[in-house]
Amino acid sequence: MITIKLPIFLAVLSFTVGIASAQDIASLYKQVNSSVVTILTESRLFEDSHQMNIDEGIGSGVLISENGEILTAAHVVNDAEKVSVKFINGEEIPAKVIRSAPVADIALLKLSWMPKVYKVAKIGDSDTVSVGEQIIILGAPYGLEQSLSSGYISGKQKQKTRTSGFVINEYFQTDASINQGNSGGPMFNMQGEVIGISSYIISESGGFQGLGFAATSNLAKKLVVDGNRRWNGINGFILDKELAWMLNVPINGGLLVESVVRFSPAYFAGIKGGFETITIEDEHLILGGDIILSVNGFPLTQEAFENVNNEMVNKSDFYKKKEFVLKVLRGGKVEELTINFKI
C-alpha cells in the first residue's frame, strides 16, 4: 500500500491539470488559427484644419463561410475606403463591407476571391455559454498577428442602445487580454467554435486592465450574418430634441451626417458629410453636412426612431429593398435623395 500525503497529492494534481489545460489550448490554437485574419484599412479622416488625411488602421476578423464572408467589428471598417484581409500564409485579398450594425459593433466583409489556403470557423451558440467557461481570443494586438490570449467568461452584459433601445446589445465580459488590433477578432470556446467578436475594453490607462468585451455570436448572426443590415457609408449622430432645436431642424430629431465614405452607397447617392468640428453639450460633432429627416417616409425623430427600426426589423422585406428615399435638410432646404444597394 502506497501512502501519499494530501498536500503533495494536491500539488501533483494541480500541476497535471495545468499541463493538460496548456496542451488543450495549444491544440485548440492549431485547430482554429488559420481561420483568423488580420484586417488592414485605409480611411480619409477629417481634421480640424479642414484637411482630409489618410489613416491606416489594423484590426482582426474570422472567416465564417466558403463564400468568403468575414466577421469583424464595425468600428474597424465603417470608415474605410479600402479594406484588405491578410491570411496566416501572408496572402492579402481585397474585401468590401457588405453589412454593418454599428450599434452592436459588428460588421460582415466579403472577399474579392478566396485564398489559396484557408479554414472556415464554425459559429457556436452563445446562449449556451456560462460564466466561468474558459475561452481563447485570437487577433493582431498592436500588429502582432495570430496572437493568442486566454481567460474566462467573467460575465454576460446586456445593453440598450442610445437609439431608444430598439436593439438589445449582448456582450461577453472576459479577463482575456484585448488590446488595440484585437478588435474584430474571434472569441473561441474550448470546442473551437466562435462565440464572440472582440469589441472594446474598459481602461483608465488605455491598456488592458482585465475588462474586455466581445459581442456575442448570436447577436452577430441575427444582425449581419442571417440579417441584412447593409453598410451605407454614413457616419452620423442621432440628434435629440434639444440638439435638433439648436441646429434649426424642422422636426424633433434627425441623423446628422458627419462623414461619408467615398465610393459607398451614400457617396453615390450624393449625401454630404460635414466640415466643421464643434462641441455642443460635451458632444463633439462635425457640422455642415446633411441632416437626414426620414427614410422611406419614416421620420428620424428620437421618439419615432424605435418604431422606424422595429419596422425595419419586423418587416421581412424592408432590408431586402434595394432603394431607399431619404429626405435631407441641406442649406436650410429639404431635398430628396435616393440611395441604392446592389447587394
The catalytic residue among 105, 126, 147, 175 is 105
Q: How far apart are CA 184 and CA 64, in angstroms?
A: 13
Backbone angles phi, psi at 207, to 5 degrees: -100, 175
How does strand 122-123 pair with strand 193-201? parallel
Inter-residue long-range contacts of 21-30, CB under 8 Å, 24+ positions, other chains counted: 21/134, 24/190, 25/136, 25/148, 25/150, 28/136, 28/188, 28/190, 28/192, 29/136, 29/138, 29/148
* Nearest alpha-carbon partner for 68 in 88, 89, 98, 28: 98
CA-based Rg of the chain, rounded to a whole angstrom? 22
The catalytic residue among 34, 75, 79, 177 is 75
Annotated active-site residue 105? The verdict is yes
Q: How far apart are CA 74 and CA 151, in angstroms?
A: 24
**CB-based contact 43:59 (threshold 8 Å):** no
Distances (CA, A) of 329 to 75, 119, 255, 294, 311: 27, 47, 10, 10, 23
Could you tell me the end-to-end alpha-carbon distance of the chain, in angstroms, rounded to an integer? Answer: 73
For the record, the C-alpha cell of 138 comes out as 485570437
* Nearest alpha-carbon partner for 86 in 40, 132, 121: 40
Annotated active-site residue 282? The verdict is no
Q: How far apart are CA 231 and CA 107, in angstroms?
A: 8
**CB-based contact 291:273 (threshold 8 Å):** no
The catalytic residue among 183, 199, 217, 259 is 183
**CB-based contact 135:127 (threshold 8 Å):** no
The one-letter code for the residue type at 106 is I
Neighbouring-strand partners of residue 110: 69, 96
Looking at the annotation, which residues are catalytic?
Answer: 75, 105, 183
